[in-house]
Structure 1
Amino acid sequence: MLLLLLLLLLLLRLIFRLLVLLLLLLLLLLLLLLLIIILLLLLIILLLLLLLLILLQLILLLLLLLLLLVLLLLLLLLLLLLLLLYYYYYYYYYYYYYYYYYYYYYYYYYDYYYYYYYNYYYYYYYYYYYYYYYYYYH
């Protein structure tokens, strides 16, 4: 009977150890599952951060493109302004030159006309003088 009791005790001890081992194994499986869940969550967070970084890079790239577009528009506006100033200056200078040339030509023509007129009178006086001289001395 004592032997039977001892065998029963050994059996209970073995069952208890098996239960503890099974419990430890279950606990280890739970820890492993928890670790897998944590790793998956970290992977999801990392992917979300990567996606956010890509979105931020895209936003920064779009802002950079917008800035380049604004700078290009400002450059075109500056070129247009310079072109307008050039044409204004060119036409104004051309008009001034034309006016000056016209005035000079008019003055030259007037001077020439006056010279011609003066010579005409001079010849006329000369002719008159000659006539007078001829008339007087003959």
Structure 2
Amino acid sequence: MSAHDLYLPCRDVLEELVTQTLGVDSAAVVTGDGFEVAAVLRDGIAVEKLAAMVSSLLALSEAVAQELQMSGCRNVIVETDGGAVVTLRIPASGHELLMSVLCSDAASLGSVLYAARDTAHALGRRLLT
């Protein structure tokens, strides 16, 4: 399955995540090397920049975890005064894919993390078929 073939399955799942998770206003699936696969983003977000940054952020976090002799980095959460960004790997064999979810400060971070993990696993299963 090529990156182009991944667009529709990823976009559908992202739309569902954004519309059904309170406080989530944007989400993107990107490649491990920082390129967009699919995104549902609020106005003003440059998907090219987001893709490159979250790819680098996750790679750096994994290097920190490895240096500290901790097991693999499951996710990265960046909390700000205006909300949070949750980034995690999508478990899809044959594809190095990441998902980033942006939420407002009104969102429950636990709920967003749960929804993001659930969505990543559902997307991984969907891409295997």
TM-score, normalization by structure 2: 0.19
**More contact order relative to length (CA 8 Å, sep ≥ 6):** 2
Q: TM-score, normalised by structure 1?
A: 0.18
Q: Which has the higher strand share?
A: 2
Greater C-alpha radius of gyration: 1
